[in-house]
Amino acid sequence: MKYRRLIDNAKKPSGFWGRLMIRSMNKGHHELTDWALEHVKISNGLTVLDVGCGGGRTVSKLCQRVGSGKVYGIDYSQLCVQKSEKLNRKSILCQKAVIKQASVSQLPFEDDTFDLVTAIETYYFWPDKQGDLKEILRVLKPGGTLLLVFEMLKTDAEPDKWKRVEDRLNIKAVSREEIENALHSAGYTNVKSYTAGGTSRLCATAEKEAT
């Protein structure tokens, strides 16, 4: 029963079990996020967006890396926004971080705003994956990069590995080929994907064509 209530709050955390899930995500995604961030260049002065920021730990990591830059986080869970704001309180006070409640399907930002957009373990829950990838493409600067990160990699060797979670949350694990094709179809260029041997980790990078 506890497992079910916790898992049910993976999509949109709320209440007591949502708080536990946020805590679990901040801890459980720590090493995954560090591994994935090694595949993108993060330099001083960048403007970055974290889509589905959850408890805010990725926002915190990004704030440490962008120097004089700025990091935005969005999540459609009010509880996640509150927890992320609390964790990043100092960065928000010095105007280095901004957290907003919003959906990936309708990002509250102007075109060509971000140098980098990250999405850690959130793609599964997006309501319109192709449309949402295009919405992110809209807010990326020309030459900007999208980083998608997954811990539920579907392979031919173990096609049903994640079936229990998939059925419970009505989501689908992704294969390397599927995510690469989705990014190409949405209009991204220079699409690359990476896996970590001995794990189910997958990350993909893609760029908005430079003008």
What is the domain range of residue 63? 29-207
pLDDT score for 15: 53
Euclidean distance between CA atoms 159 and 37, whole angstroms: 27
pLDDT score for 29: 59
168 versus 202: which is more confidently predicted? 202
- Residue 7 domain-assigned? no
- Residue 12 domain-assigned? no
Query: In Å, how far are 35, 108, 112 from 67, measured between CA atoms?
Result: 20, 24, 21
| Confidence at 1, pLDDT banded by 50, 70, 90 | very low
Q: How many domains does the chain have?
A: 1
- Residue 20 domain-assigned? no
- Residue 19 domain-assigned? no
| pLDDT(7) > 80 | no
pLDDT score for 10: 53
pLDDT score for 170: 81
pLDDT score for 25: 54
Which of 161, 150, 156, 162 minimizes the C-alpha distance to 195? 150
pLDDT score for 3: 45
- Report the CATH number at residue 161: 3.40.50.150
Euclidean distance between CA atoms 96 and 25, whole angstroms: 23
pLDDT score for 58: 94
Indicate the pTM of the whole model.
0.88
For 111-135, the pLDDT digits (tens) are 999 999 999 999 998 999 999 999 9
- Residue 118 domain-assigned? yes
pLDDT score for 76: 86
- Residue 173 domain-assigned? yes
Which of 208, 172, 162, 211 minimizes the C-alpha distance to 187? 208
pLDDT score for 98: 98
| Confidence at 77, pLDDT banded by 50, 70, 90 | confident
113 versus 32: which is more confidently predicted? 113
- Residue 8 domain-assigned? no
Average pLDDT over residues 8-35: 58
- Residue 108 domain-assigned? yes
